[in-house]
Structure 1
Amino acid sequence: MSERPEAWPVLDHAELGPMIEYVNRVVQVAGKYSLDDPFEVGWGNIVLEVSPRGLRTPVFRRNGVTFAVHYRLLDGVVVIEADGASRTLSLGRTSVADFYTAFCEAAAKLGIPHPRSALICEIPAAPPNFEDDRTERVWDAHSARLMWEAFDLAAGGLEAWQAPFLGHRPRVGVMWGGFDLSATRWRPKRTDPGPKGPPFMRNAQLHEYVSVGFSFDNTHGDGTSPLDIGMYAYIWPQPDGLEGRSWGVEGADWHPDLGLALLPWQNLRRLPDPHGAIVRFGDAVYEAAVRTSGWPTDLVGPRVDGWYMSEHQPSEHAEHVGRQG
């Protein structure tokens, strides 16, 4: 069934900007714990889940304590959920520095060590450390809800796109550094990321991948020229032949200066079926990888629901896909 366009909210970066800056900083506090865990190709282990009320870390196990951190955007609080107890911290009128101090104190009471780093990452205009960011932040519940709705709606489309891929595909989630919602497909073909860029980025570029996601701030490389909020996609390494291609959805275009295919939110939300449009956008990007980079066609299985799979033999799945095409 098609989504009603009005169910997908209007997103104004000028309105959301202060909250995006604030939430991007505070999610990095608990996000740091994921760096202690074994590295997963493409940083798949670090992403934050889009929960029914906000963003939630993976489950961590430290010093005999099992815990997760839930940034409850719809409630304006952060909950540290441990096996022994929980602690709730307000995101109300405070600074990032004060939040970080309160977080570390609450974690210690639960037997959880402090995050191993206080660096603020991937935000060019931010102070270097959490303790240095003393700007007073005022929680805006309306903006927080809009942010969550955007993440939630985009996640639904990206999860549907990602589901039939048979290769390595980290779960769909928010990269807490860049604060983008990511869905990535990998194949074990080595690449040379070159000597430029930070180590974490070069580690992500050691193998070929196709990435489709959602961002509040698709920017030029200098981080100073915001583009439309919306969906983005790219192929690594970037192949030739992407100019002039169709990207599956009206309003989606290739931007050679950025190396990105972009589908602005304002275009997406006006379509009769925005959820389906995200899937078609992702399929078009993967098709571009097949045509220009030799990605295999047999890494994508049938796109059906679990009920269909529970009632039909494998030989029928291909026929179903053919009829759907």
Structure 2
Amino acid sequence: MNPKSTNSQWPVLDFQEIEATLATLHQWIQIVGKIRLKTMPWQNHSWHVTLYVSPNGITTQGIPFNGSFFQIDFDFENHELMITASQKAPEVIPLQSMTVAKFHDLLFEKLTKLGVEVTIHGSPNEMEPAIPFKENTTNKTYDPVAANTIWKALMQANCTFQKFRSQYIGKCSLVHLFWGAFDLAVTRFSGKDAPLHQGGMPNMPLEVMQEAYSKEVSSAGFWLGSKDFPVPSFYAYAYPSAPEFGNQKVAPKQAFYSEEMGEFFLKYEDVQQSDNPEQMLLDFLQSTYEAAAETSKWDRDNLERK
């Protein structure tokens, strides 16, 4: 996974090389994400369920529980999962190849030792097939190099997303990781209500989708790819989107619109190999936002930093 350009901070992402590890990690972070979902106070648009990129991996951040706090951290430099709780010694699980079923059992054993008793929905969301975690012996690959590369790519995307987020003074999400599809996202809101969403994600309750998209949005994110679309990419979409949204001219020239998905895409590889990856990505984020804001007639004067 040696970089193909001088941008060594932006690692090369070869989907074939990360695929097996990504599939396992996707299951593992769903388990951790569901623990956060069950223990955090509810927030609009399901913001209470999200995970975050950390200095060495992915974290839940602090979760309030019975008058104290606990936190779960994936460390992709030292390759361990650390569970910490207030005034108790941390519990650690080495990150190595193991089945989803074993990871699930080990994690809940450690939580019990720390006095954190929680029950989650035992099957993954937004994926097919949805094998129950306790029965999943299919996904079991953990390549430390692949895991570290995935984290480094997420970290670079996160840094650029944070910069983009700072220019908006309307309602805006944090830059956060949704474990359903394993994508890093940031969403801007116009302040207007949106039409009732029709759903469509596998193993995702309709009412969750409808609340998540109850307000008009312009959303962008970074997705690591899948078997059906093995191309790590940045994406941008609007909900609802005006008929002319997909016809807007956006930057950079490598960006394209998918009629099937109703989204703009920019391949991670194009960003990684560019002379200035951050600026290329910022151009994509800004121009796709403007495409949404202009075609849907957002009140930009009162939503953007002057």
TM-score (norm 2): 0.90
Counterpart of 1:90 in structure 2: which amino acid?
P
Match 1:204 to one of 209, 212, 218: 212
Whether contact under 8 Å (1:214, 1:230) holds in the other structure is yes
Whether contact under 8 Å (1:93, 1:139) holds in the other structure is yes
User: d(CA) in 2 for partners of 1:46 and 1:136?
Assistant: 23
User: d(CA) in 2 for partners of 1:232 and 1:282?
Assistant: 9
Counterpart of 2:272 in structure 1: which amino acid?
R
Whether contact under 8 Å (1:180, 1:215) holds in the other structure is yes
Match 1:13 to one of 9, 12, 15: 15
Secondary structure at the counterpart of residue 50 of structure 1: strand
Match 2:295 to one of 288, 292, 295: 292
Say whether residues 1:118 and 2:122 are aligned partners: yes
Task: Quote how far apart the aligned CAs of 1:274 are.
Answer: 0.9
Matches within 5 A, 1:13-162: 13-36=15-38, 37-85=40-88, 86-127=90-131, 129-135=132-138, 137-162=140-165
Secondary structure at the counterpart of residue 70 of structure 2: strand
Say whether residues 1:254 and 2:262 are aligned partners: no
User: d(CA) in 1 for partners of 2:267 and 2:8?
Assistant: 16
Q: Which runs of 5+ in 2 are unaligned?
A: 201-205
Task: Quote how far apart the aligned CAs of 1:257 are.
Answer: 1.2
Whether contact under 8 Å (2:170, 2:304) holds in the other structure is no
Change in 2 beyond 3 A, CA 1:156/1:214: same
Say whether residues 1:192 and 2:200 are aligned partners: no
Counterpart of 2:269 in structure 1: which amino acid?
Q
- Percent sequence identity is 25
Secondary structure at the counterpart of residue 183 of structure 1: strand
Per mean C-alpha deviation after superposition, the further-off stretch among 274-283 and 131-140 is 131-140
Counterpart of 2:286 in structure 1: which amino acid?
D
User: d(CA) in 2 for partners of 1:248 and 1:185?
Assistant: 19
Whether contact under 8 Å (1:4, 1:273) holds in the other structure is no
TM-score (norm 1): 0.85
Whether contact under 8 Å (2:9, 2:152) holds in the other structure is no
Secondary structure at the counterpart of residue 243 of structure 1: helix
User: Residue 308 of structure 1 corresponds to which residue in structure 2?
Assistant: none
Whether contact under 8 Å (1:55, 1:70) holds in the other structure is yes
- Once superposed, what is the RMSD of the aligned Cα atoms? 1.9
- Over alpha carbons, which structure has the higher Rg? 1
User: d(CA) in 2 for partners of 1:77 and 1:195?
Assistant: 40
Counterpart of 2:48 in structure 1: which amino acid?
N
Whether contact under 8 Å (1:34, 1:58) holds in the other structure is no
User: d(CA) in 2 for partners of 1:301 and 1:191?
Assistant: 20
Secondary structure at the counterpart of residue 114 of structure 1: coil
Secondary structure at the counterpart of residue 48 of structure 2: coil
Secondary structure at the counterpart of residue 116 of structure 1: coil
Whether contact under 8 Å (2:51, 2:58) holds in the other structure is yes
User: d(CA) in 2 for partners of 1:177 and 1:102?
Assistant: 22
Counterpart of 2:143 in structure 1: which amino acid?
D
Secondary structure at the counterpart of residue 239 of structure 1: coil
Structure 1 segments of 4+ aligned residues over 3 angstroms from their partners: 3-7, 194-197, 299-302
User: d(CA) in 1 for partners of 2:135 and 2:68?
Assistant: 29
User: d(CA) in 1 for partners of 2:135 and 2:150?
Assistant: 25
State how many pairs are aligned.
Answer: 295
Change in 2 beyond 3 A, CA 1:215/1:136: closer
Q: Which runs of 5+ in 1 are unaligned?
A: 303-317, 319-325
Task: Quote how far apart the aligned CAs of 1:191 are.
Answer: 1.7
